[in-house]
Structure formats: structure tokens, C-alpha cells
């Protein structure tokens, strides 16, 4: 009864909200089908949709912006918890062992250009750290999809490519708390404490997940999918919230929950959470586009082109070195090199965090531009290594 | 067990973990060509045919659903068993081949093949174990049995009956 009364009083508002939300989601559904037909990753299309409807864009959304903003936050959390669920703690540790030197090269080659560009643009140290993260991390989502679409899952260089992605994701668990602490404008001490807490938590969770994975998993273990969905989603939000309160960043908390849960529960959790992730992550990308003024895109385009040029070259170098180190042949090295170019969800997460906390506002449009350009470039050049030799006739 | 399988060449299978996706198993054939199977977390398989010129690259990748993969495994596994069976029966008359299930209440579900001591006790040999459509030929004594496995037994009719009784937990 109270529910009915409540909704009656906000009737017109609810109607507008529902219409706006419905229109957005329906539109995204069509975009998703288009992306599938064109064999393109869907992230750039979501971003473009957000840009089109955002401030000063084609259409104005007023009623649903608050709702989408909350949904966007949940989207980040779900993106990260699914990432954690996809990798088991043992996979992370073995990747770390084998790929640590590559991870270091990757970090240095790709973070430094971002930091340098931000410093040269006079945006200050915090923006430099943010842009370093934006240019550093390749998009696991886009790259895994491309490898699948191009039929390269069986290729010998594929574990090397995935290995680099795993290391980057693990590095984010240290990087995000550092950025969060910097953005909170704490002194050197609070930044140091945040990073120490993060390193400590990651280490504890990795060890705990390998030793006591079953017990941790039992916390949400349930035979029926419905209670698993609620339990897993609830636990994730809870830990993410606590992590945010401790200034370790909600995203990292969610990632660690994903790592700690293992076995068959993790498999079922992936199944039940995937539709939720798809929904809320779409909201996240659209919201990022919405909150970016399309008019600013043109202004940052030269800088974005420069960043794309530099940071694609550095990724190519990273991939080539990584593949050579794994004993991959020359053609495989080039495939690895260009596979790593696309940036995506992480760059957007970092930019959203930074802009939300009041760092240089141009980071938003710059990241949108940079992500679109690297994904576009990646989609083009990733098809090249196959084109350069005669195709088998049976294709 | 060994003697009946000596003609089977040892095949090296290279496994590569694909973090976040699953596992890729690659094997080189006598012809020099290489094929691979990608097993994904969600149960999908991909049959991969490698390029003859670029050893790192897949020339083609064909996606198989769990059912389709099972059907392919059954076809391949069945022909192999038929070939082995006819070869065996040519060599020795009175020899039978049978597939026996490990029931859920079997005392050997969760124990090793060696624990069953079927060879010593009956004279019959377990030459393969089939689990979820894929066969492990010549399993060693340390091979762990699970309920719903199928064991392929070679021996006299009487010995095979005895093996069935042992696996069902009806004798000693």
C-alpha cells in the first residue's frame, strides 16, 4: 500500500524515467546487434551513444541521469568482480611468476607516455598518474573478444597475450588504491598507507584464496541460482563499499571478492552475474559518454591522436618483446604486438574516477577519444597479419 | 595391458592455460600437421587446425557445443575401440571387450585403479577409462576412478563378470 501511494505521488517523474531508461536500453540493444553483425566490440558504440545523448548532445536526458549514475557505479563493481571470477588465484600467481618481467616492461613503456603528456599539458601530478593508468592498461574485454572472433584462441601466442592482460589487471589492484588516495588529496603518508593496505590485502586475498578458497566460497555457496545471485551480488557490494570507505577503492574490493570465490560457485556466479554485468556495464559506458561534453572532443582530438600514436607503438613493442620471450615466431610476434593496442574498460574506469574526484576535466573527453581511436586502430591492424598471406581456399 | 597397446605410438599433448578462457591442448600428428582442442570454462570446445607454414597460428577454429564435442568424441572413440577389438579378437578367440560403469555407490569411486586389483584377481585388463565422452587409454594403477566413469575391460567372459562384481562392491 505504501508502495502504491509512494509511486502515485511521483507518478509523472517515474513515467519519464521509465520512458527514458526504456529508450536508452532499447537503443543499446539495437547497437549490440549492429556490433555483432559488424564483428566489432560493443564498448565504443556504447560510448558513442552516451556522447550523442549527453550534455549538449543530440538529446537531453534529465529524469534518468541520477539513476544511470548509480547504475554506472554498480557497473564498475560488476566489471571488476567478473574479472576476478574469471581468473583463479592460482592462474594469477602462475602468470605473475612467468610474466612479471613482461608486466614491468609493459607498465614502464605504456604508463610513462601518459604521465609525460599530462605533465607537459600542465595538468599536475595527480592527472599525470591518472593518464598513466589510462594509457597503460589494454582492454581484456575487447582483446579476448577479438581473439575469439579471429579464431586465434588456439594460437601459440594467445597465452602470452592473455598473460599480459592478467598482469595488468593484477597491477590495477595496486594502482587503483594509489590513485584513489591521490585523488582524495591526502598527503604522501596517506598515499603510502593506502598502497600498503592495498598490497597487503591483495597478498592476503591471494594466499587465502589458494589455501582457504573452499571456506570463503562456502560463504555464498548455495545450490539454487537465485540465492547465489543475491548472496554473491550482496557480498560484492558489501566488500566494495567497505573498501571504498577505507579509501582502497570499491573496484579493488570487488576484484578481490571475485578472486577469493572459486570452483563451481565461481562458475555458477559467472553465469548468474553475466546478465547483470552486461546491463550495468552498459550503463557505465553510456554514463561516461553522457557526462562528457561532445563539444570538447574536437579540442582534445590532436592530443588523443598523439597519445594513440605513441601508446600504440609502445604496446606493439611490449607485445613483440613478450612474444619473443615466449619463443613465438616472427609472424606470431606481430600478432601479439598489435593484439594489445585496444584500451577500454579500465581506461574509462580510471578517467571516470579521476574526473569524478575533480582532476583535470579534459581527461574525460581525451579518454573517450583515446579509447575509441585505439579500439578502431586495433580492429583495423589486427586483421592485417592474416591479410598479408594468401588465405586458405576453404574459407 | 601394455602388450595390447604397444602398437599405439606415444603422442605428446602440449597443454597451455588460457587465463579467463580455459585450456588449449595441442598435439602433433605423425604427418607433421598439428591439431588442437580449446576447452572453455563454459563447456564449449573449439577444434583447431594449425597452419602448416606458421606453426604458431591456427588456420581454422571450429566451435563445438558440449553435445557436439561429445558426439565427435564418441565417433572417434568408437572407431578406435572397434579397431582395437577386431585386432584383439584376431589374435585370441574367446577374448571379450566390455564397457562397465562405475556406479555411484561403488567402493572404488574416488579410489585408484590399482586399488581394484582386478588384473590380479580376475586376469582381465582394464585398457581404457571413458569419462564424459573422452577416453584415457592404458590408464596406470595410479589413475583415479570416479563414479559414472566407464571402464573398458578385456578378458574372458567370466573374468569380465568378476570385474563387474568387484566394481559394484559385491565381492571382497
Share of chain A above pLDDT 70, in %: 89
Burial class (CB in 10 A: 0-12, 13-18, 19+), A110: buried
- Percent of chain A past pLDDT 90, that is, above it, reads 33
B41 or A164, which is more confident: A164
How many angstroms separate the Cα of A116 from the Cα of each of A59, A112, A122, A169, A349? 36, 6, 10, 22, 20
What CA dihedral angle connects B156, B162, B168 and B172, to 10 degrees?
Answer: -150
More confident residue, A57 or A19: A19
pLDDT at B23 over 80: yes
Instruction: Measure CB to CB from residue B59 to each of A144, A153, A392 and give the nearest one.
Output: A392
Q: Find the residue in B nearest to A270 (Cα).
A: B42
The Cα–Cα gap between A245 and A255 comes to 16
Do residues A236 and A276 touch, judged by C-beta distance below 8 A?
A: no
With 90 as the cut, is the pLDDT of residue A214 above it? no
Q: Is the pLDDT of residue B89 over 70?
A: no
What is the distance between the alpha carbons of residues A382 and A339, in angstroms, rounded to a whole number?
6
- Report the C-alpha gap between A106 and B38 in whole angstroms: 27
Q: Which pLDDT does position A112 carry in this prediction?
A: 95
**Contact yes or no for A369/A297 (Cβ under 8 A):** yes
Q: What is the pLDDT of residue A322?
A: 94
* Among B19, B38, B58, beta carbon nearest to A162: B19
Query: Given an 8 Å threshold on Cβ–Cβ distance, is A159 in contact with B18?
Result: yes
CA angle, A202 as apex, A197 and A205 as ends, to 5°?
A: 120
Give the whole-angstrom CA distance, residue A147 versus residue A161: 10
Tens of pLDDT, residues A339-369: 999 999 999 999 998 988 888 888 999 999 9
Q: What are phi and psi of B102, to 5 degrees?
A: -95, 110
DSSP secondary structure, A273-293, as one string: HHHHHHHHHHHHHHHHHHTS-
Using the Cβ of B60 and the Cβ atoms of chain A, whether some distance falls under 8 Å is answered with yes
A166: chain B residues, CB-CB within 8 Å = 19-20
Q: Residue B155 above 50 pLDDT?
A: yes
Q: Which of A74-78, A130-134, A184-188, A310-314 has the lowest mean pLDDT?
A: A184-188
Residues in chain A with CB shorter than 8 Å from the CB of B24 are 153-154, 158-159
Question: Are A311 and A374 in contact, with CB atoms under 8 Å apart?
Answer: yes
C-alpha grid cell, residue B67: 553435445
CB A144 to CB B21 under 8 A? yes
Buried b / exposed e across A167-185, counting CB within 10 Å, b at 16+?
A: bbbbbbbebbbbbbbbbee
Supply the Cα-derived Rg of chain B in whole angstroms: 18
Looking at residue B152, its pLDDT comes to 85
Contacts of residue A162 in chain B, CB cutoff 8 Å?
18-21
How open is the CA angle B83-B87-B91, to the nearest 5 degrees? 170
CA distance B136 to chain A (A): 22
CA of B44 to nearest chain A CA: how many angstroms apart?
12
CB A116 within 8 A of CB A94: no
Instruction: Please answer yes or no on whether A154 and B48 come within 8 Å at the CB atom.
Output: yes
Nearest to A194 by CA among A204, A182, A209, A181: A181
Q: Which of these, A281, A280, A342, lies nearest to A140 by C-alpha position?
A: A342
pLDDT over 60 at A391, yes or no: no
Confidence of residue B5 (pLDDT cuts 50, 70, 90): very low
Q: Record the cell numbers describing residue A66, joined without a space.
A: 541520477
CB contact (8 A) between residue A155 and residue B56: yes
Cβ-defined contact of B19 to A335 (cutoff 8 Å) = no
pLDDT of residue A336: 93
pLDDT at A105 over 90: yes
Structure-block grid coordinates of residue B14: 602440449
Query: Which residue among B17, B48, B56 places its CB closest to the CB of A331?
Result: B56
**Grid cell digits, residue A328:** 613465438
Q: How many beta carbons lie within 10 A of that of residue A311, not counting itself?
A: 26
A308 in Cβ contact with A377 (< 8 Å): yes
User: Which residues in chain A are closer than 8 Å to B16, comparing Cβ atoms?
Assistant: 156, 158-159
Best of B20, B23, B52 to disrupt the A interface (most A CBs within 10 Å) is B20
pTM: 0.75
Assign 3-class secondary structure to chain B.
Answer: CCHHHCCCCCCCEEEEEECCCEEEEEEECCCCCEEEEEEECCCCEEEEEECCCCCCCEEEEEEECHHHHHHHHHHHHHHHHHHHHHHHHHHCCCCEEEEEECCCCCCCCCCEHHHHCHHHHHCCEEEEEEECCEEEECCCCCCECCCCCEEEEEECHHHHHHHHHHHHCCCC
Q: Does any CB of chain A come closer than 8 Å to the CB of residue B50?
A: yes
B57–A332: do the CB atoms touch at under 8 Å? yes
User: Cβ A159–B54 below 8 Å, yes or no?
Assistant: no
Q: Which residue of A has its CA nearest to B42?
A: A267
Residues of A in contact with B48 (CB under 8 A): 153-154
Please name which of A272, A285, A340, A392 lies closest in space to residue A27, comparing C-alpha atoms. A285
Question: Could you read off the pLDDT of A297-338 as tens digits, one per residue?
Answer: 888 999 999 999 999 999 999 999 999 998 899 889 999 999
What is the interface pTM, i.e. ipTM, of the complex?
0.72
Average pLDDT over residues A194-216: 76
Distance CA B145, CA B129 (A): 8
Say if B61 is an interface residue toward chain A (CB within 8 Å). yes
Contact yes or no for B38 and A155 at CB 8 A: no
Q: Judge whether residue B98 has pLDDT over 90.
A: no
Tell me: the pLDDT tens digits for A70-100?
A: 899 999 999 989 988 888 777 788 888 888 8
Verify whether the Cβ–Cβ distance A166 to B38 is below 8 Å. Answer: no
Strand order in the sheet with B96-101: B96-101, B150-155, B125-131, B134-137
Q: Is A157's CB within 8 Å of B56's CB? A: yes
- A301/chain B closest Cα distance in angstroms: 34
Highest mean pLDDT: which range of A218-227, A373-382, B18-27: A373-382
CB contact under 8 A, B61 and A163: no
Q: Which of A82, A150, A151, A154 to mutate to test the interface with B (most CBs of B within 10 A)?
A: A154
Reference A40, options A129, A168, A142, A184; nearest CA is A142
Residue of A nearest to B59 (CA): A392
Largest CA distance in chain B: 58
pLDDT at A211 over 90: no
pLDDT at A244 over 80: yes
Amino acid at each position: 500500500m505504501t508502495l502504491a501511494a509512494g509511486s502515485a505521488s511521483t507518478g509523472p517523474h517515474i513515467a519519464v524515467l521509465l520512458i527514458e531508461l526504456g529508450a536508452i536500453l532499447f537503443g543499446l540493444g539495437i547497437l549490440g546487434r549492429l556490433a555483432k553483425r559488424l564483428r566489432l566490440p560493443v564498448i565504443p558504440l556504447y560510448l558513442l551513444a552516451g556522447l550523442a545523448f549527453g550534455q549538449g548532445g543530440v538529446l537531453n536526458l534529465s529524469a534518468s541521469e541520477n539513476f544511470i549514475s548509480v547504475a554506472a557505479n554498480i557497473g564498475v563493481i560488476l566489471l571488476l568482480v567478473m574479472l576476478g571470477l574469471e581468473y583463479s588465484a592460482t592462474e594469477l600467481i602462475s602468470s605473475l611468476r612467468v610474466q612479471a618481467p613482461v608486466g614491468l616492461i609493459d607498465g614502464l613503456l605504456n604508463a610513462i607516455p601518459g604521465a609525460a603528456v599530462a605533465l607537459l599539458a600542465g595538468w599536475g601530478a595527480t592527472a599525470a598518474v591518472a593518464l598513466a593508468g589510462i594509457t597503460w592498461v589494454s582492454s581484456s574485454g575487447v582483446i579476448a573478444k577479438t581473439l575469439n572472433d579471429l579464431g586465434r584462441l588456439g594460437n601459440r601466442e594467445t597465452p602470452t597475450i592473455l598473460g599480459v592482460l592478467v598482469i595488468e589487471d593484477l597491477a590495477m589492484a595496486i594502482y587503483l588504491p594509489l590513485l584513489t588516495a591521490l585523488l582524495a588529496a591526502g598527503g604522501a603518508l596517506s598515499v603510502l598507507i593506502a598502497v600498503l593496505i592495498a598490497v597487503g590485502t591483495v597478498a592476503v586475498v591471494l594466499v587465502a584464496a589458494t589455501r582457504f578458497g573452499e571456506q570463503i566460497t562456502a560463504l555464498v555457496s548455495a545450490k539454487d541460482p537465485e540465492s547465489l545471485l543475491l548472496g554473491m551480488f550482496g557480498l560484492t557490494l558489501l566488500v566494495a563499499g567497505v573498501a571504498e570507505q577505507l579509501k582502497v577503492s570499491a573496484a579493488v574490493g570487488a576484484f578481490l571478492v571475485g578472486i577469493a570465490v572459486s570452483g563451481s560457485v565461481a562458475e555458477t556466479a559467472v553465469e548468474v552475474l553475466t546478465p547483470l554485468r552486461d546491463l550495468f556495464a552498459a550503463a557505465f559506458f553510456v554514463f561516461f559518454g553522457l557526462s562528457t561534453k561532445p563539444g570538447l572532443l574536437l579540442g582534445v582530438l590532436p592530443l588523443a591522436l598523439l597519445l594513440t600514436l605513441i601508446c600504440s607503438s609502445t604496446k606493439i613493442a611490449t607485445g613483440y618483446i613478450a612474444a619473443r620471450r615466449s619463443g613465438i615466431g616472427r609472424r606470431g610476434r606481430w600478432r601479439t604486438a598489435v593484439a594489445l593496442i585496444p584500451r577500454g574498460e579500465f581506461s574509462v574506469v580510471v578517467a571516470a574516477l579521476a574526473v569524478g574526484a575533480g582532476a583535470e576535466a579534459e581527461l574525460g573527453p581525451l579518454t573517450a577519444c583515446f579509447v575509441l581511436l585505439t579500439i578502431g586502430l586495433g580492429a583495423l591492424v589486427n586483421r592485417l597479419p592474416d591479410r598479408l598471406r594468401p588465405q586458405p581456399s576453404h574459407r | 595391458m601394455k602388450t595390447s597397446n604397444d602398437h599405439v605410438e606415444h603422442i605428446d599433448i602440449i597443454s597451455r592455460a588460457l587465463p579467463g578462457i580455459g585450456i588449449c591442448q595441442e598435439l602433433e600428428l605423425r604427418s607433421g600437421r598439428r591439431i588442437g582442442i580449446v576447452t572453455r570454462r563454459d563447456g564449449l570446445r573449439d577444434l583447431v587446425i594449425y597452419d602448416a607454414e606458421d606453426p604458431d597460428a591456427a588456420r581454422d577454429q571450429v566451435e563445438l557445443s558440449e553435445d557436439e564435442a561429445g558426439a565427435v568424441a564418441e565417433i572417434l572413440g568408437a572407431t578406435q575401440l572397434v579397431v582395437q577389438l577386431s585386432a584383439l579378437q584376431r589374435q585370441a578367440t574367446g577374448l571379450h571387450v566390455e564397457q562397465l560403469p562405475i556406479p555411484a555407490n561403488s567402493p572404488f569411486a574416488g579410489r585408484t585403479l590399482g586399488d581394484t586389483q582386478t588384473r590380479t584377481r580376475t586376469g582381465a585388463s582394464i585398457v581404457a577409462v571413458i569419462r564424459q565422452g573422452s577416453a584415457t587409454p592404458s590408464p596406470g594403477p595410479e589413475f583415479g576412478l570416479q563414479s559414472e566413469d566407464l571402464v573398458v575391460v578385456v578378458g574372458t567372459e567370466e573374468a569380465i563378470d568378476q570385474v563387474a562384481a568387484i566394481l559394484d562392491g559385491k565381492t571382497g
